[in-house]
A = this chain, B = another copy of it.
Amino acid sequence: MSCEQLFLEELKKKGYRFTPQREIVLEIMHHLDKPASAEEIFAHVQEITKTVDKSTVYRTLDLLQEFGLVSVIDSGERGHLYEHLGTDKPHLHLACESCGKIFAVDQEAFLPFAEYLADTVGFEVSLQSTTIQGLCSACREKAHSVAVREQVLEETSSN
């Protein structure tokens, strides 16, 4: 079933309505290639039409979440980011604390840990809403070279 069909079904099931505004927001989400903030999504919507209010975008994102079509990432730096859940495999996110970039990672390697948590403390991990913080490889290298440079400077200045 396509996203739109699923959306329609869910709306009907709950007695909600299918409006142009909701259609546009879903359309935008569908074409995102990476997680985006509410502000960014609103900007995309505005490129199509000025007749959708920001509050409607928020309300629609809530709906889409409720239907499981969209997930929210708590990115730390950049606040909440919304991501379309298409036919992608389940995945989790890495957020770089330095540059703010978000990366998607397949869940496979994480599953043993999820299983461990389920077995030991009975915690059921929600992969889609989990974001792992850290440093991406680019920022890691940058940090490393800075560290090296500082070390050199210290050695120089202490002479």
A-side residues, CB < 8 A to B, are 74, 76, 94, 96-97, 103, 105, 109-110, 112-113, 116-117, 120-126, 129-137, 140
For the complex of A and B, 3 pairs with smallest distance between CB atoms: A122-B137, A129-B133, A125-B134
Q: Kindly report which residue of chain B lies nearest to residue A97, judged by CB atoms.
A: B126
For the complex, give the distance between the alpha carbons of A74 and B74 in Å.
7
Task: Give the docked Cα–Cα distance between A150 and B74 (Å).
Answer: 32
Q: How many chain copies?
A: 2
A-B contact pairs, 20 of them (CB 8 A): A74-B76, A94-B117, A94-B123, A97-B126, A97-B129, A103-B123, A109-B113, A110-B113, A112-B112, A117-B132, A122-B136, A122-B140, A123-B132, A123-B135, A123-B137, A124-B134, A125-B134, A126-B133, A126-B135, A130-B132
Give Cα A10–Cα B135 distance, bound, in whole angstroms. 24
A122 closest partner in B (C-beta): B137
Q: A105-B117, A110-B113, A117-B94 in contact; A125/B136 too (CB < 8 A)? A: no
When C-beta atoms are compared, the residue in chain B nearest to A135 turns out to be B124
Residues of B within 8 A of A140 (CB): 122, 124
Specify the chain B residue showing the minimal Cβ separation from A74: B74
- Asked if residues B137 and A121 are in contact (CB atoms below 8 Å), the reply is yes
Are B109 and A136 in contact, with the CB atoms below 8 A? no
